Amino acid sequence: MNNYLITVVGATAIGKTAISIQLAKHFNTDIISSDSRQFYKELNIGTAVPSSEELNAATHHFIQNRSIFDTYSVGQFEKDALQKLDSLFLKNNTVIMVGGSGLYTNAVINGLDYFPEVAPEIRTKLNSELENDGILKLQNQLKELDPESYVTLEIENPHRLIRALEICIGSGKKYSEFKNKPKATRNFTPIKIGLFADRTIMYNRINQRVDIMMQQGLLNEAKALYPHKNLNALQTVGYKELFHYLDGKYTLDVAIEEIKKNTRRFAKRQVTWNKKDTSINWFDFKTDIYEIITKIESLYH
């Protein structure tokens, strides 16, 4: 396999976009975005979509190519991304992929674990229990139904917790039984580049980014999206907190602090996810690009 997918990973606001553009320029190739928040054309400021200058500096794919009114799954993205990679590899044996959505990135590289369809009302009921009774009750339910997943899953993440529970309840089998099947074969070799920073630096960069987003007009963007606040695509950091402000539940100052806090929590989860992957080549976020390129080229066969 002489095709290479160079994937840039790391926490939000760490500088993945800038590095990926430098790599795309060096290898004279395109960038595939695996950031699930940046798929939607109605979302600009709150998802840190690359600027027009950045988009012009290298050809990007899967940036603002869907609508918030579309249903789009990780499985569909996997198919679309692999199809795009097949066409890109015809003209260049190296393609760059960048994004903060670990699940989407992993789907392209390794394939997905496939789960049975379950009745949607199971998820509705679990979401209602989460809201009314809190997360601990659901955690204990998973401990009872699937002890292995209780130990290995990120049970503080309500989305993942509810996903595991709905599979257990809907299929009558353990969620862990559907995991870790043989992975899909791919026609490329993945090379993973991870960017890291000291936690204090990382959190400061996040706080500064949120302040910049507010200056750029994130509140007005949220106001325009407010009539559609219940859409799945809008259940995300940066928008849901401002919807709470518009609902009168938060003051604006509290909403901004909540965005910062929830973004820091998201970054922490990204770090935890990436730490599990021993195939990532880690670099300080300030590392000179040519040091990273030298490492990548040393991994070419």
Pairing of strands 189-196, 4-10: parallel
Q: Which residues are documented as binding site for substrate?
A: 12-17
Enumerate the H helices of 42-196 as residue ranges.
Answer: 52-57, 74-89, 102-110, 120-133, 135-145, 147-152, 158-171, 175-178
d(CA 277, CA 201): 23
Strand order in the sheet with 189-196: 60-61, 31-33, 94-98, 4-10, 189-196, 280-284
Question: How wide is the angle at C-alpha 263 spanned by C-alphas 81 and 282, nearest 5°?
Answer: 60
DSSP 8-state symbol, 11: S
243: left (phi over 0), alpha (psi -120 to 50) or beta: alpha
Handedness of CA 64, 66, 69, 71 (dihedral sign): negative
Q: Which residues are documented as binding site for ATP?
A: 10-17
d(CA 275, CA 290): 24
d(CA 64, CA 151): 37
Q: Which residues are documented as binding site?
A: 10-17
